[in-house]
Amino acid sequence: MSSQENLVKNIALSSTVAVISVVLLTLFSELYPPLKNWLASNFSHHWIGKSVLSILIFAVFIIIFQIFKLKNLSPTKAIWILIIVSNLSFVTLLAFFFLETIL
């Protein structure tokens, strides 16, 4: 696998982890107000906090995936994992906020 293909794979996988982290931070900060308050107090707004943390998570996981070379995963599969996780994340957040609105 070329270095470009490896980079694409690492970016896709790191993006997947970052997407999951944003969804989890969003859900937990809505269900546990002290987390939302912590994000707001440390980053001036809870969404800025989630953004900063997701960028850090993305950067750390690119390094982790670079160190632990996943040879049995192709860049195409990594991109499909990102697409699937992104769509599931959208549905999860949509369902959560819909249920939160009607309940």
With beta carbons less than 8 A apart as the criterion, state whether 86 and 12 touch: no
The b-or-e profile of 63-81 (16+ CB within 10 A means b, else e) is eebeeeeeeeeebeebbeb
Mean pLDDT value of segment 51-77? 94
pTM for the predicted model, two decimal places: 0.93
Tens-digit pLDDT profile for residues 73-82: 999 999 999 9
Q: Give the CA dihedral 79, 83, 85, 91, nearest 10 degrees.
A: 180
Closest of 89, 91, 70 to residue 13, by C-alpha: 70
Structural domain span for residue 39: 3-102
Number of domains in the chain: 1
